[in-house]
Structure 1
Amino acid sequence: MEPHATPPAWTLLMPLKPLARAKSRLAPTAGASARAQLALAFAQDTVSAALACTAVRDVAVVTNDGQAAEALAALGARIVPDAPDAGLNPALAHGATAVRGIRPEAALAALNADLPALRPGELSRVLEAAARTPRAFLADAAGTGTTLLSAMPGQLLAPHFGLRSRARHASSGATELFVSDAVSVRQDVDTEADLAAAVALGVGPHTAEALCRGTGPSPVNTA
């Protein structure tokens, strides 16, 4: 597929489960309340960085969590209720349908909501690469999952997130993206080790504040 003469203005879809159930793999070192606060902080920093990216037109967060919806709408995100309420992939498919019901030719990219070190410039480079192919995906830092899945106008998103999603997205026909200097777009946070890696990159202000309040696993270097 030839790249568009005019770069697309992307709509990002971010799924977010109810905060009370979020970040369960941090449970060994963080209580339920701390996990919920961290999950919200991750999402706030992800949305803020995404909206600061010049390639991004808007961000649609698919969630049924009222607290998250209010906080993320205040940052400029559009909230799409998770009508299917049946898991990550149905939420993304529903969000894609909602966006294209308004803008049928939208370029879409599903982006994880747990990228607290996300850099707008790095996201822009990934989306520039994604614009060269009908569907594309970016593997996570661990190399087995996915942090971004894109679909150009006229293409279905067809998400296959979950266990070993890198292999499943490749099998679905999506092109894997290899973008140098895009580590912040790959560094999602599921475990304490992931959080330490994100902190080493430099997390956004909401996550930094949550960590400074003592919300989350310890010890983690926030310097």
Structure 2
Amino acid sequence: MRPVGRNGAPVTWTLVVPLKPLARAKTRLSDAAGDGPRASLALAFAQDTVGAALASRWVREVTVVTDDPLAGRELSALGARILPDSPGLGLNAALAHGARAVREERPGAAVAALNADLPALRTVELDLVLEAAADFSRAFLADAAGVGTTLLSAAPGAELAPAFGGPSRDRHRASGAREIELAGVDSVRRDVDTAGDLRAAVALGVGSHTRARLADMQGTAYTYDPETRAGSVLLDDGTPLPFDTAAFDAGGLRMLRPGQRVRIEVAGEGEQRRVVFVTLQTF
């Protein structure tokens, strides 16, 4: 059944998704993923989030607020509208900017802020949250930790007034927004900041972009020479790739045993493709 607002009118939502430049995104994943893979994961998270959101029957449009050109191209290709982060003053300013831009075009729009780091997002669960949000002037969904917020909604005529970051659950509740208390919407609550968060998202089942990116970053130690500290890794598709002493030393390892699961970074193309970083898998 199509959700209706408090005035009885049908509600469809425009989601505003903020995404900082990929080089600065998800810094708490650096220890687990490295800077290059971390940026790629941040983009994959956003792609899976936006893709699932656009599939929602209650979503009219997804507006991504970002200055990152690669993210802009990739998310636009999925069907999102890209809005430059002209305030450049952080997360909440970007969200307020996005909501204003939406309502400058459609003053009666129902808008909702959605985190960009929900790689396990399931459309059917987002539908349930948006249906519940239609009952309130402003509403929010707490994250899996019960401290932050993953979604904040504002019905037509209500200001979004975002207060994301840190203990935002308390701030949004104090601002008068109603908390959405639903069971069975774990994927909408499961944002990813740390390796532990990522493991939890993988357990729920991440989307295709994140799944492919994680596969590119993993392999199995195949050979290892303790004298030269060089060897090779088998990718999950069975392709062997060599690593040299520098790649081994970059990972901070003392020893590697064939058969161990490893996290890798790869450079080059075709026959020149090689592992430039290898360490034990941490997620």
Q: How far is 1:32 from its partner?
A: 1.1
Q: How far is 1:6 from its partner?
A: 4.1
Secondary structure, counterpart of 1:7 in structure 2? coil
Secondary structure, counterpart of 2:31 in structure 1? coil
Secondary structure, counterpart of 1:29 in structure 2? helix
Q: What residue is the counterpart of 1:163 in the other structure?
A: 166
Secondary structure, counterpart of 2:10 in structure 1? coil
Choose the corresponding residue for 1:179, options 178, 182, 195: 182
| Structure 2 residue 221 is the aligned partner of structure 1 residue 218 | no
Choose the corresponding residue for 1:103, options 94, 102, 106: 106
Q: What are the within-5 Å matches in structure 2 for residues 67-216 of structure 1?
A: 67-214=70-217
Structure 2: gaps spanning 5 or more residues: 219-262, 264-279
Pick the structure with more strand per residue. Answer: 2
1:135–1:175 CA contact under 8 A, matched in 2: yes
Secondary structure, counterpart of 1:28 in structure 2? helix
2:195–2:282 CA contact under 8 A, matched in 1: no
1:62–1:92 CA contact under 8 A, matched in 2: yes
Q: How big is each residue's C-alpha offset from its partner over 1:25-52, in whole Å with a ceiling of 9 and x where there is no partner?
A: 1111221111100000000000000001
1:7–1:128 CA contact under 8 A, matched in 2: no
Q: How big is each residue's C-alpha offset from its partner over 1:34-87, in whole Å with a ceiling of 9 and x where there is no partner?
A: 110000000000000000111101100000000000000000000010000010
Q: How far is 1:128 from its partner?
A: 0.5
Q: What residue is the counterpart of 2:42 in the other structure?
A: 39
Structure 1: gaps spanning 5 or more residues: none
Q: Among all aligned residue pairs of Structure 1 and Structure 2, give the percentage whose two residues are the same amino acid.
A: 62
Name the amino acid aligned to 2:174: S
Between the two proteins, the alignment pairs up a number of residues equal to 220
Q: Report which structure shows greater RCO (CA 8 Å, sep ≥6).
A: 1
Structure number with bigger Rg: 2
Q: What residue is the counterpart of 2:18 in the other structure?
A: 15
| Structure 2 residue 58 is the aligned partner of structure 1 residue 55 | yes
TM-score norm. by structure 1 comes to 0.95
Q: How far is 1:127 from its partner?
A: 0.5
State how far apart, in whole Å, the 1-side matches of 2:7 and 2:72 are. 33
RMSD over aligned Cα, in angstroms?
Answer: 1.5
